[in-house]
Amino acid sequence: MSTVPIDLERLAHQLRNPVTVIRTLAHLVYKRLEGADPNRPLLAAIEQECSRLDDLLDLNSHTFELQVIDLHNLLATLVGKWKLIAQQQERLFEAHLTALPLVRSNAPALQEILTNLLDNAIKYTPAGGQVSLSSFVDHERQDWCCISIADTGEGIADPDLARIYEPYYRGNQTASTTGQGLGLAIVRDLTGRIGARIEMCSTPGDGSVFTLYIPVAPSEQPLATGE
């Protein structure tokens, strides 16, 4: 085994203890506050993010268990969080969620994919711009659920389109924005590992649209483990 996987496993192990402490302390303070206290939602958000970090540490595994997931509920939770983030950063955020069939996927991986896409959309959209998320069933192939994330940012220049999923690659238009160039590489990797697919279209000056396709769960069929 190479040193990189060993280092990642050691780091994941070392991070779990402080994450557990933070989550426990947040929960204790949460329980001491009255039901109407405005700080309770903030503490609940801290607990949720600690749980997400735990899930992220597990994503280092080479295999994912694919399960039946209520995609609509997952999206509704994400939308509430990202509306607040967009508002704090002076961006408009719109969501158009429709009724969806259950999907076959991995919830932590899906959350991380969507988090990276939404983070990029808000990051590269100027103040006053708009980010929108919509969900729908593919009209041509009813066995795919779709999530589309659109922004009104600068878009992606043609020379950069073929390289946006490369780790650490950052196009010329992103030079003034902080980041490591890993978000879309993570999206591409996780998408493939859960049997989903990602498509993108972008027009310089008019923004970008990323669409995630997730397989609908087969009815009355046991689900296998994905890689």
At position 3, the amino acid (one-letter code) is T
User: Could you give the angle at the alpha carbon of 153 between the alpha carbons of 193 and 75, nearest 5°?
Assistant: 45
End-to-end Cα spacing for the chain: 19
Give the span between the Cα atoms of 139 and 156, in whole angstroms: 27
Give the span between the Cα atoms of 66 and 2, in whole angstroms: 27
What is 99-124 written as a DSSP string? ----EEE-HHHHHHHHHHHHHHHHHT
Give the span between the Cα atoms of 141 and 128, in whole angstroms: 36
Q: Which of 208, 215, 209 is nearest to 173 (CA)?
A: 208
**So where are the chain's domains?**
3-62, 65-219
At residue 86, the 3 state secondary structure works out as: helix
- Global pTM reads 0.75
Return the CATH class of domain 65-219.
Answer: alpha beta
pLDDT in tens, the chain (227 residues): 344 444 555 666 667 777 778 888 888 888 888 888 888 888 888 888 877 777 767 666 556 789 999 999 999 989 988 998 899 899 999 999 999 999 999 998 999 899 999 999 999 999 999 999 999 998 787 799 999 999 999 888 888 888 888 877 776 655 556 556 778 988 998 999 999 999 999 988 889 999 999 999 987 344 444 44
